[in-house]
Amino acid sequence: MTHTEQVIANALAVVAASRAERKRDAERRKRVFGKIEIGRPLPKLPGQQLSLNLR
C-alpha cells in the first residue's frame, strides 16, 4: 500500500469513527432528553398584537 493509499485509508477510518460517535451521542441525547417533559404550553392571547419598538 502506498503512502497516499494509507493516508486515504486513515482519513476514511477517522470519518467512520466520527460518524459512529455522533450516532451514539444522538441516540443518548434522544434517550436522556426524550424523558424530559416540557412545561404546560403558553396560553394563547387572541387578538393581541405585541408592539415592538425597534428604534
Q: How many residues are given for the chain?
A: 55
Whether 19 maps to a domain, the answer reads yes
Q: Please report whether residue 53 resides in a domain.
A: no
Number of domains in the chain: 1
DSSP 2-40: -HHHHHHHHHHHHHHHHHHHHHHHHHHHHHHHHTPPP-P
Judge whether 46 lies within some domain: no
Mean pLDDT of the chain: 86
Q: How far is CA 3 from CA 6, 7, 9, 13, in A?
A: 5, 6, 10, 15
Q: Let me know if residue 26 belongs to a domain.
A: yes
Q: How confident is the model at residue 14 (pLDDT cuts 50, 70, 90)?
A: very high
Find all residues with CB under 8 Å of 9, minimum gap 6, and list them: 1
Which residue range(s) make up the domain with 21? 1-35
Read off the pLDDT band of 1 (50, 70, 90).
confident
